[in-house]
Every structure is written in structure tokens, then in C-alpha cells.
Chain A
């Protein structure tokens, strides 16, 4: 693990939007992310898993139902393949 020299004060300033200078660093630093995860715990007022899983379930269902349909499957498969190949998925 690469040593992290960022202080907790810097991390808190980053979390509060006061200092963005460690933006690039945080993207890849497990220690900073662990600190932020602890800091942000309990902030969210609603459980997102229900709406997210509803959409996931529906998408899986759509794909399953249309499997016998032929052409649409190829379009969806291609859509999902392309959709999952953006920069964020790397």
C-alpha cells in the first residue's frame, strides 16, 4: 500500500468542499476513502437499495422476457455492453 501523507484536517476540508487539491489523490487512495467512508456514514436519509434493485430486477426481467423475441435481444445486449464500457467502469 502506498503511504498516504494527507492529514485528517485536509480530508475533512476536502469532504466539506473547502479544499479540492487532493481530488486526484482521493480517487486512488484507499486510506483517504476509508476515512471519508467513516465520515459520511449515516448521511443518507433513504435506503437506496430498494429503488436500485427494483430497476435492476426490471432490467433483468426485460432481458429474460425478450430472449425469445430475437432481434431486440441483440440490441439490448449491445446496449448493455457499450453502456458498461465507459471510463467509470475501468
Chain B
């Protein structure tokens, strides 16, 4: 049953299974996009807000109590974001979209902090030498096993482990200003 599957996916995603959340996005993205587009009347803006909707849903997974259907929960998030965007566009017509999305009643400063941190981390990854960056990206962003990475890069398993360790350590040093 579709709704039952949704609850299972939410539970799995809340337990750390990222692919479960990816499936939720694929399942409901048309609906969320339609709900947003109905309000904002701008396809590009609607896509941005739809993405933001799913990110907020992901971060709010621990708070989802299951009192409503998952689709209904997503609809409410999407609807609120779309209305906020329209309101802010009226108040600040020249404001750029990222700032519009960043400012909501649920904590704009905190949201901005997470975004800034993610951006800084992305820049730090870019600065890594390729021999460290490649295994790190395959491990942390593409979630390959150490064995698969070793096969992919044609490296001994221990070399892969060492390089990922060194990459993580380099990132920690690079990010020390955030502590």
C-alpha cells in the first residue's frame, strides 16, 4: 500500500538510510512541484522551492509523528514555503532567491549557518589533492565501500583507507575555524 510504504520510507530515512529519502523525493516531487508552482507561478522558482521543501522535510524527519499522510506533511511544508516566497517577493521584489529561501519562520540564521558550513566544506574538498579527493568523494558522497573504491581507482585497500583518513584529517584542519 502506497501510504504504508511512505511511512516505512520515512522511518528508514530517519534511521539514516539516505536512499529511502531519495525514493520519497522521487515519489512526491511532481506533487510538491505542482503545489508550489500553483502559488508562485514561476517554474524555476518552483523547482528551487521544491528542493528546499525536501531538504526541510529531511531535517524535520525526527519530528514527523505520523499523524498525517507523508504527502500531506510535504504539502504543508511546500505550501508554507511557497506562500513565504510570494510574500517576501512582494516585500522585497529585487531580493535574490537564496536569501528568500533562507529566511523562514523556522530559523533563518540556523539555516544560513548550515548552508555556509556546507559551502565551506565543499570548497575545502575542492582544495584537496586529487589522490585524496577521489577516494574521499567516492566514500562520503557516493557511499561506495572501501573495496569498491579500491577497485574503481585500482589501488590497494589499505592505500584507500589511508588516503580517506588523511583526507578527513585535512578537512578537519581546514575547518578548524568553524569550531
Contacts and interface: CB of A to CB of B under 8 A. Distances in A.
B156 interface: no
B9 interface: no
B5 to A, nearest CB: 14
Q: Describe A's contact surface by its main secondary structure.
A: helix
Contacts of B55: 52, 55-56
A84 B178 contact: no
Interface residues of B, number: 63
A78 B110 contact: yes
The 9 A-B residue pairs whose C-beta atoms are closest, nearest first, are A86-B106, A40-B34, A89-B60, A79-B110, A88-B77, A84-B60, A49-B25, A37-B31, A44-B33
Interface of B: 18, 21-22, 25-26, 28-31, 33-35, 37-39, 41, 43, 47, 50-51, 54-64, 68-69, 71-72, 75-77, 79-81, 104-107, 110-111, 113-114, 117-118, 121-122, 140-141, 143, 168, 171-172, 175-176, 178-179
